[in-house]
Amino acid sequence: MLERTRRYYLYDQPTDMRKSFYTLGALVTSHMQVGLLSGAGFVFINRRRTHLKMLMWEGDGFSIYYKKLERGTFEHPVGGDDFQISYEKLLLILQGIETKKIRKRKRFSLGKAG
């Protein structure tokens, strides 16, 4: 379900968790302006930050991942203009780790010498 190669987008407003496939999809197309059938994962968090839903196109239909916390809250980081978040950041959010304090160290990259 969660794949490193998939793009993920975090909706920037609190979302009513009673919304399902069609209404979450409408938020994606009208507000986020990203193609619903792109294969991306679209993440929504409620106002109290205790519930999270993710809408994804699976090639033959939509699926929804839904997580409710018994304690604590999800971080709702401020996204960029395009709403996109990394796979790594999504995993940290799901695990309850505050991403503002995480610093990613430089790693080797092809194409740059020394």
Q: Is 75 exposed, middle or buried (0-12, 13-18, 19+ CB in 10 A)?
A: middle
Confidence at residue 100, expressed as pLDDT on a 0 to 100 scale: 77
Note the pLDDT tens digit of each residue in 15-52.
999 999 999 999 999 988 888 898 899 999 999 999 99
Q: Which residue has the tokens 């916390």?
A: 69
Mean pLDDT for the chain overall: 87
Mean pLDDT value of segment 50-61: 93
**Domain edges within the chain:** 8-101
Confidence at residue 9, expressed as pLDDT on a 0 to 100 scale: 94
Whole-prediction pTM:
0.83
Residue 111, pLDDT > 70, answer no
